[in-house]
Amino acid sequence: MIQTKCFGEWLEIIIPSKWEGHSINDLFRDVWQAPKKQIHTIRMEKHVKINGEVINWNKPLKAGDRIQLKLFIEEEFGVIPAYHEVDVLYEDEHMMVFNKPANMDTHPNSPEQTNTLANAAAFYLQAKGEQRKIKHVHRLDRDTTGAILFAKHSLAGTILDKMLEERSIKRTYAALVHGRINKKKGTIQEPIGRDRHHPTRRRVSASGLPAITHYELLEYSLMQDFSLIHCQLDTGRTHQIRVHLSSIGHPIVGDQLYGGEPLFERQALHARKLVIPHPFTDERIVVEDSLPLPFQHLLKK
């Protein structure tokens, strides 16, 4: 684990032995993989110090050196703060995970929209006296509930975006599907593209983008003929889980767009768990939510 501490606007990191010999430039370019424009801005504004001093960015670092990064700067939120009742599942100085309710978009589609999770996140930070330009790292469909990761400053956003792209961040979803899934574990590997006959629907298509969904059977309700499963994604296509499960004959309960019966007020899909390598400390952050009560009630009917 890499040692860090925060003071005011600055984050201090004790250089670990694995970074010895790297320069500041190496850290931003190779370790954190920040874009050139972001690196240039940080460099020009002198937002990096080593042992309290501004030094040459190409000078090799030594284990035990202290690098200070000016990260916690007041910025416009980027959205209008608006109060909504949402649960915080995890938070530190760099990121936070919210439990998104049903019937809520992840972010606004127009500047004046205020009924999204991003608006709620901005209000939450404003109430704490933190004015940050927050950024969602991934999204959920409007009717899907559960854990969504936000970055609280731009460098954390850059690192977390890259982790998501490289699949270092693991996402687990709980779903109630029709029928009994016979295999305890399985993988659906079918490309997904747009449905030419419907404005929002996707479908398995040979000309679509590659998509991989892993699933595991947790429980089967004989009375309801429902299977409770966990899904993990290797890709993040729109409606991926919904399309893939429908394609194998097990649509999600309530997901009428993809063949589910209207036995639930929405698709019974919940983002239950996130495993996140911490962007600065290398800790393995595990954020897990319990199975929603409506799912439990539906299984027990």
Residue 280 covered by a domain: no
CATH code of residue 222: 3.30.2350.10
Please check the confidence at residue 248 and state whether its pLDDT lies above 70: yes
Are residues 249 and 194 part of one domain?
yes
Please check the confidence at residue 199 and state whether its pLDDT lies above 70: yes
Please check the confidence at residue 301 and state whether its pLDDT lies above 70: no
CATH code of residue 12: 3.10.290.10
Are residues 54 and 38 part of one domain?
yes
- Residues labelled catalytic: 141
Phi, psi dihedrals of residue 246, rounded to the nearest 5°? -65, -35
Are residues 181 and 126 part of one domain?
no
Are residues 66 and 145 part of one domain?
no
One-letter amino acid identity for 78?
Answer: G
Residue 276 covered by a domain: no
Are residues 159 and 234 part of one domain?
no
Q: In whole angstroms, what is the distance from residue 23 CA to residue 157 CA?
A: 22
Residue 126 covered by a domain: yes
Are residues 46 and 18 part of one domain?
yes
Query: Which tens digit of pLDDT belongs to each residue from 25-41?
Result: 999 999 999 999 999 99
Are residues 126 and 188 part of one domain?
no
Mean pLDDT for 206-230 is 95
Are residues 57 and 94 part of one domain?
no
Query: Which tens digit of pLDDT belongs to each residue from 88-104?
Result: 999 999 999 999 999 99
Identify the domain boundary among 52, 70, 88: 70
What's the pLDDT at 176?
Answer: 96
Residue 18 covered by a domain: yes
- Tell me which residue range forms the domain holding 137: 74-166
Are residues 222 and 189 part of one domain?
yes
Are residues 93 and 16 part of one domain?
no
DSSP one-letter string for the chain: ---EEEETTEEEEEPPGGGTT--HHHIIIIIS---HHHHHHHHHTT-EEETTB---TTSPP-TT-EEEEE-------SS-------EEEEE-SSEEEEEEPSS--SS-SSTT---SHHHHHHHHHHHTT-----EESS---TT-EEEEEEESSHHHHHHHHHHHHTT-SEEEEEEEEES---SSEEEEE--EEE-TTSSS-EEE-TTSB--EEEEEEEEEETTTTEEEEEEEESS--TTHHHHHHHHTT-PBTT-GGGT--SSSSS--EEEEEEEEE-TTT--EEEEE-PPPHHHHHHHH-
Residue 82 covered by a domain: yes
Identify the domain boundary among 118, 147, 166: 166
Residue 277 covered by a domain: no
Q: How many domains does the chain have?
A: 3
Mean pLDDT of the chain: 95
Mean pLDDT for 216-220 is 96
What predicted TM-score, i.e. pTM, was given to this entire model? 0.92
Are residues 256 and 202 part of one domain?
yes
Are residues 156 and 78 part of one domain?
yes
Say how far residue 41 (Cα) sits from the centre of its chain. 26
Residue 130 covered by a domain: yes
